[in-house]
């Protein structure tokens, strides 16, 4: 397979056939390919393939770790997460007077289901901060690994 890729890279207009990594026919104005040209091109292609494979592995690992990080979030929680975080942050920053206006925090009220909204807001903000930090670490790791490859 690499032989065919190398030939196509070196001789893009050539008409040739390859079977079991051997040239079975060559019809072109160009002369037969030089072994040293092919060898260099094959090595270059092998290196490119190794780099691409490593990049794919890093990206797969990143996706796996992100999935692991968020696996405990229910589907409903994921759909409404941004709203939950915004309401929780607003609640924690609010004055005592505004904290009593529960209509400002409809999602928190629904999720708390009669429980302490303040405690729920703190949990949501802590969870959000943890997720931001950990996902930021993973993103930095992925970017560092990809940068090392080039």
Residue 25 in this model has a pLDDT that exceeds 60: no
Please identify, among 71, 100, 121, the residue that sits at the C-terminal boundary of a domain. 71
Please state, in angstroms and rounded to a whole number, the distance separating the CA atoms of residues 33 and 6. Answer: 10
Tell me what pLDDT residue 120 has.
Answer: 93
Q: What would the two tokens of residue 123 be?
A: 């949990």
Residue 26 burial (CB < 10 Å; 0-12/13-18/19+)?
A: middle
Write down how long the chain is.
Answer: 150
Please state, in angstroms and rounded to a whole number, the distance separating the CA atoms of residues 1 and 19. Answer: 9
Q: 91 with 147, same domain?
A: yes
Q: Which domain holds residue 11?
A: 1-71
Residue 28 in this model has a pLDDT that exceeds 70: no
DSSP per-residue codes, 81-112:
HHHHHHHHHHHHHS-HHHHT-GGG-HHHHHHH
Please identify, among 49, 71, 93, the residue that sits at the C-terminal boundary of a domain. 71
Domain count, the chain: 2
Q: 78 with 150, same domain?
A: yes
Residue 66 in this model has a pLDDT that exceeds 70: yes
pLDDT per position as a tens digit, 130-150 = 999 999 999 999 999 999 987
Residue 38 in this model has a pLDDT that exceeds 60: yes
For the segment 51-68, the average pLDDT, to the nearest whole number, is 95
List CB contacts of 90: < 8 A, sequence separation 6 or more.
104, 105
Residue 45 — very low, low, confident or very high, per pLDDT cuts 50/70/90?
Answer: confident
Tell me what pLDDT residue 44 has.
Answer: 82
- Going through the chain in order, the beta strands assigned E by DSSP cover 15-19, 22-27
For the segment 45-72, the average pLDDT, to the nearest whole number, is 92
pLDDT per position as a tens digit, 79-112 = 888 899 999 999 999 888 888 888 888 888 888 8
Selected residue with higher pLDDT from 132 and 33: 132
Q: 99 with 119, same domain?
A: yes
For the segment 52-68, the average pLDDT, to the nearest whole number, is 95
């Amino acid at each position: 397979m690499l032989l065919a890729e190398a030939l196509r890279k070196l001789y893009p207009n050539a008409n040739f056939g390859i079977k079991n990594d051997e040239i079975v026919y060559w019809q072109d104005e160009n002369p037969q390919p030089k072994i040293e040209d092919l060898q260099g091109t094959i090595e270059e292609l092998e290196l490119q393939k190794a780099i691409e494979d490593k990049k794919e592995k890093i990206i797969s690992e990143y996706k796996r770790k992100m999935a692991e990080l968020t696996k405990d979030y229910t589907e409903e929680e994921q759909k409404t997460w941004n709203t939950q975080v915004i309401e929780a942050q607003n609640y924690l920053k609010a004055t005592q007077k505004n904290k009593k206006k529960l209509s400002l925090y409809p999602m928190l009220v629904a999720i708390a289901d009669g429980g302490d909204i303040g405690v729920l807001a703190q949990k949501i903000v802590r969870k959000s901060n943890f997720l931001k930090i950990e996902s930021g670490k993973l993103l930095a790791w992925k970017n560092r690994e990809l940068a090392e490859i080039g």
